[in-house]
Amino acid sequence: MKVDIDGVTLHLTHPDELPVRWVGQEDLIRQLLAAWMVLNEQDLPMNPRLLGKPGVGKTTLAYAAAKRLGREVYILQATLDTRPEDLLITPVIEGEGKLRYVASPLVTAMLRGGVAILDEGNRMSEKSWASLAPLLDNRRYVESIVAGIKIKAHPNFRLVSTMNDDASTFELPEYIHSRLQPQIWIDFPEREEEYLILKENLPFADEQVLNYVSDFLQRAHLADERYTVRDGINAGRFALKLQHTGQRPGPVGEALETAILKTLGQEALRYTRGLL
């Protein structure tokens, strides 16, 4: 896919297609869709941020909400090394003396009226965020110094940033903080929801495994541990693999305990006592 802007040809990226389904609090979907809603021609969509501990489903929530709108979804993974040009347009050498300008997932979403998910946005530095400031207010454009063009967002373009609540992140500058509103917090799910999420991701697991992992996670949540449903999925999947490594299935309890130990460490075993 190509687009010409002021004589510059941009090569667009492809949308992301993920085999995921949101299982959890429906009100979170409602809040996100409300933030993206446009009430009349004087209104503008908001740029929400989803906050929570790693592994609670922030990206899955954003993706599911975008799909409910029927939009293409473009995911850009932010890191400590993300530069402004990584967010916008990257020049690539194409033959002798020629440059090919490749649009980022974010810019592609802007041009095609899709949804951009800026994943783990608070890992980026202020310099990178500064390049997005005009996009996040009523101007709704970005300027590429590399390509020498201004890119305006399609009216259907929507943006959301996920942010982890941990120590390995930057504080957002205030002028960006005020542009990324509302703030939607995703907490650990209740036991029934967590069970359904595990079942969605481990459809080949039996009830004993699903209940064990669900009860383990709920105990850990009560103790304010940072173990998430993603950790539970990994532990459950590893346990099932361990159980079937021999000629016949081994004891499920032994496999589950070993899986918890190997995925989360010795300290996690305190929450497994008496589960089987």
* Residue-wise pLDDT tens digits, 127-179: 999 999 999 999 999 999 988 899 999 999 999 999 988 755 678 889 999 99
- Domain segments of the chain: what residues? 2-185, 191-271
- Is the pLDDT assigned to residue 225 strictly greater than 60? yes
pLDDT of residue 252: 84
For residue 247, name the pLDDT band (cuts at 50, 70, 90).
Answer: low
For residue 99, name the pLDDT band (cuts at 50, 70, 90).
Answer: confident
Q: Which CATH superfamily is domain 2-185 in?
A: P-loop containing nucleotide triphosphate hydrolases (3.40.50.300)
pLDDT (tens digit, 9 = 90+) per residue, 195-224? 999 999 999 999 999 999 999 999 999 998
pLDDT (tens digit, 9 = 90+) per residue, 48-81? 999 998 888 899 999 999 999 999 999 999 998 9
Fill in the DSSP letter of residue 154: P
pLDDT of residue 104: 95
Mean pLDDT of the chain: 91
Cα–Cα dist 201/206, whole Å: 12
pLDDT of residue 173: 87
Q: What residue spans of the chain are helical by DSSP H?
A: 26-36, 58-68, 84-87, 105-112, 126-130, 174-177, 191-201, 207-222, 229-243, 252-264
pLDDT of residue 248: 62
Cα–Cα dist 79/83, whole Å: 9
pLDDT of residue 139: 95
Peptide linkage before 182 cis (omega within 30 of 0) = yes
Cα–Cα dist 25/7, whole Å: 47
Cα–Cα dist 132/159, whole Å: 11
Cα–Cα dist 119/114, whole Å: 15
Amino acid at 241: K
Cα–Cα dist 153/108, whole Å: 10
Q: 199 near 210, Cβ under 8 Å? A: yes
Q: What backbone phi and psi angles, to 5 degrees, belong to 90?
A: -115, 125
